[in-house]
Structure 1
Amino acid sequence: MTPHDGALDILDALINPAWAHDDSTGPSLADVLVPVVVDDLTIERIEAVLRSIPLSGDLVAFGTDGTWRLGPAVGRYAQANPMFIGHAARERRRAEQLVALDTKLSEERARLDHLRQQLASLTAISETVQSLRSGQPPTKQLSQSLTDYRDWQRRLDDRQLTHAAAKDDAETKLRAAESRSLELQRTASRLRLPSDVDALQGVEHLINDCDVKRREVISLRKTSSVAATAAQQARNTADAFQRRADDDTAAASEAETFAQLERVRYEQLEASVGGDAQRAVEALSTARTSHKLQEKALDDVTGRLADANSTVVRLSERIDGFTSNRVMLESALDSAVQSFEVICGAEIADILNIDGIDLGADRHTAARRLLAETSDRPGDTANRMERSYREILLDGLRAGHDPSMPKLDNVDVVRVGTADGDLAIGTLVRQLREEYERTSQLLSKQEREIFETHLLTRIGDAIRQLLLDADAFEHHINQEMSRVPTESGMIVELRWEPTGDEPDLRNAIQALRTSPELLGPDRRDALRDVFMRRIADVRSAEPGRSFAETLTAVLDYRAWHQFVLYARFSSGKRQRVTRTFYRGLSGGEAATLLHLPLFAAAAAQYTNGSQDGPRLIALDEAFVGIDDKMRARLMGLLVQLDLDVILTSHEFWGFYDTVPALVLYDLVRRPPTPPRRRTDG
């Protein structure tokens, strides 16, 4: 029997129909297997057995002795010759496939014979063409002469066209000149002008003089018109001033007459009344002045009184407002004091850890102390608290701790469910700190044993070997870069140096490069202290890390180093590459300094490999912003370093004398197939 899907690994087995049961009510083996006639077993009997075996039946097993079990059906398979599982069905399929392959081979042979005939025909045609081409006389001189003839013929045609156009233009202008000359002659005859040139020039001079005189007359007319206008305006102004003078004279005469009459009256009054009238006049004037001052003072007092009344009204309103605010503030203060009770409680005060905030503290003093010790709340406090709750508590606590953040009198508090019940976060921190201090003392002894047993032996040997491998790799990179100096003789060097200026780390790296047998007790203790200090720093920065993760981070020798570039000149001087030094380089040297370490590192990595293969590197948007001459040199560097490169660029071709061979794919929208070009230098 074989499965429906054509698999050939189902056991060719003999089924005893005596084991057949009633049909399964659900899916059975008959749904997935196809019976195959074997000896005296018919398809109907095999199907009856398969229908009685549900797919979700008991055990399906095959024994090494030939026994098998499929649900309630058991049996034993046996064959006269040892054959693999599914032999019969596989042999049938193999025969069918062989027939199909034979048919396909026959078709391919016929197609191959046809192609061979075409090849023979094309070969004969090619040989005929080659023989004809070999007997053909040289055509270089003839082609050159033909090309020259065509050039001269094209130039001649251009000259003829130009000549014809110029001739037509000259004839047109000649006809126009003749027409104008005839018209001038008619005009001269009508105006009775002389016919000779000198007389005509004299007439022209007279006409020009008349035109000059005409322009002068026009100018004089304009000037006289302006002067007449100004004279009329002056006459009008003089008339106006004369009328005003007459009016002023009449007014002065009337005033003089009135003054004389008043003087006469005054002299008569003074003669009849005497000095008492003068004193009365002076007293009246003084009284009037005093009255005006008193009226002014009264107005000031009245204004000030009105302002005072307005101020009293405003102050009364403010007093009423202050009284209302005081009542509200006293109520808010009482409410705040009651709310601050939870802040002074042990659960929150323990977290704040501010002097003067506890159960026995005065609430007003505690509130002022809290405001003085805390800064303004940023706008995203809720989001930051929620993020810290997720990162520190939900993600940071190990299994067995169930954090929650309930509200206690509208204050968010953090509690953690443990085996001892719900604990305040401060209580949990104290427990964890005590546990940490207790385990730290135990770990310090264990860490010393681990350090002495592993770090200075197996781990130290591994780190030492990695450091030596890194040194060798650095040497290979510099060796590759020394082969390709710049045009000025500058050689780029790469150094793998310790990071920063930490002397203890440099000493530790030097100690790790030394065999443990050569380390004295002082250097061992110094090495252990360095790593213990770094372990403590990592633990304090990330307390949730396991000891294994902490050791992995501390012993990552790659984090101890950094790559530094140097430039060595032909004079032997070596200088570290900084931003200032890089800006002072020429464009070519700067491009070399930028790309050469990358190329050399790839070449050194491939050189260290144990198997031969393509030495590939890939550059996207290669050599952007670099001139064509420098691009040729950089491509030459790739050739010198024996690198196979894949480049992409929208405007870089790469066909240079420094490149022996290059394949170019030009991707365009239409057609979608990229055209292929190849150059061999």
Structure 2
Amino acid sequence: MRAEAVAAVLAHIGLGAGSAAPLWVADDGRFGAGPLRGRHGKDAAEHVGAGARAEARQRRLDELRAQLRAAGTRHTAEDATHRALREHRRQLRELRDHIPPTAEVDDAAAAAAGATRDAQRATEHHDELRRAAAVAFRAAEEQWARAQTVAADAGLPLDAAELHTISAAIADAAAVLRDLPGLLGTARRSLGDWHAAVDDWNTEIGAHAGAAAGARESTAQAEHAATELATVEASLGEEPERIAEQVAEAQQALTGLDEDVRATQSRHTDAGKAAATARAQADGAEREAATAEVACRDARSDLLATCEVPGLLPAARDPDEAQSDEAQPDELPATPDTTDGAARLFAALRSVVPPPERDVGEDALDRSLRAIRDSLGAGWDAEARRAADGAPVAVEVSGPYGRRALLDAAAQVITDLRRARNLLSAKQDQALRNLLHGRVAREVATALFEARELVDRCNAILGDVTTSLGIGVKLDWRTRGDLDGATATALRLLGKDPDARTEDEDAAVRTAVAGLVDEARAADPESSYRTVIGEVLDYRRWHELRLYLRRPGRNDELLSRRTRLSEGEKKLVTYLPMAAAAAASAAAHDPHGVGAPRLVLLDDAFAKVSEDNHARLFGLLVSLDLDFIVTSERLWGTHATVPELAITEVLRDPDLRAIALVHSRWDGRQHTGVAA
């Protein structure tokens, strides 16, 4: 290396820690390279020179030879150990083949572990209940003493039966007093009704007297008219009326006889004309009948030839009837070559062949055949042939089943598909049985249990945190509302240990999971079974989390956009669940309380929150014992609710293209800077 290059390198290396060079060394072995610092040292002094290097190399060779001999000895011993271990492994494998399976022991151990956990939880629950009972007993004693004092002041007995009697009497009296205003009002209304009824009765009496006087006057007039009528009838007599009636009857009879004679003559003339016309029509009908009989026999022959086209008659049947178990055979009844035989053949075809849904032309038939050919898979082909001009087209399919009519091949494919689906369903059911009783089922049950515990811990934390007006929130983690009842119940059973479920519960779980698997496969047929099972058994997809608002003296209210809250309360109840979840998660990961950091990172913290709410939000984080790192353009965090805070302010100068960091601290009362 040239001396200039060495000099240039040494010029860039400073001497001592006070040097301004980025790379420096000191005479005591210390060195620095940018932000890195270190120190180099030797255990013993070394000579410099060719002889010293030769001696050092010889010593190193002697050490390596000694290490090589030791390694050879160790290799021999380890090789013997390896052969012994291989022999021991062979013996262990022979023993393994004779050892009975441990599945029952593993299942029993898992069941015992589950029972132990259940017993521990039951013991903890029992202790909580016992403490609650003690508190309730003390409260009951205080209430009893207070009740004795109140009863003595009021002159009431302490016997429950006597108190119930007095309470019932007071309730009856209160009921009577409550009903008394209504009864008085009813009596007043009844008295007014009676007064109105008396007035109406007097009015009706006057009207009745006037009507009676009018009736008497009308009766007198009727009697006078009857007397006059009787006098007139007596003076006329009956003989003139009878003679007039006989004359009128004779005239009517004469008129009717004349009309009958004219009608009879007209009918005789018409009958002669009709007879001649009927003879001519009968001759023409005989000729048309002979021609029609010949055409009918020809049509019968053409129809029989058409029905013999392979697959035509089965394809023309009603699809529902053709697929039913009671479908009629394809053979048509034997009929004679007569008009009656043709009619019977037509009737038989009409009974099995429905009317066409639409007219199909030659072009549409060719397009359909091309579409069938394009949609067939490998190893399949379709061909159309026609026996004669105007005859139906027979479509035949060639494939793994040989050459068959289109309908026969489709029926065979449908049968095989149904058999394959049944086989797949059976395999899926067995796979679900194995899946829902193995490690996956226990992991799902454990995850559900831990999720419920996390929600319970969050609610326990949220129960102690409220706003200045006593407003708080509560979490409700429940099964999704859009699931039907049977599926929701079965999925909840997945939270139960598999060994503790009954056969009926196992069947319900399998049915519910199988239904969800079918829905998932229908939604995405290309997904693998592993992917589908992973999505179906994702317990988070079965549940929904609701947030309820707790107010003093009111029932819990589901939090929604229509909930009336101030802006500060809205922000606080929004951050409450997040902070509670972070605190509960930190507590779950530090069950022994070793003091692990309970860290929360907030970027652009408390954005769009008014400054008068900042102190309460910081106080919320502090009250939940959370360690937080926040970034903001306007927050300082210097509030009385924060006992201690380290603050770093970032200053930028666009002209200098540099960034400066200013450090300061807050001790709960004073904001002071920190020396660099």
State TM-score, norm by structure 2: 0.38
The higher radius of gyration belongs to: 1
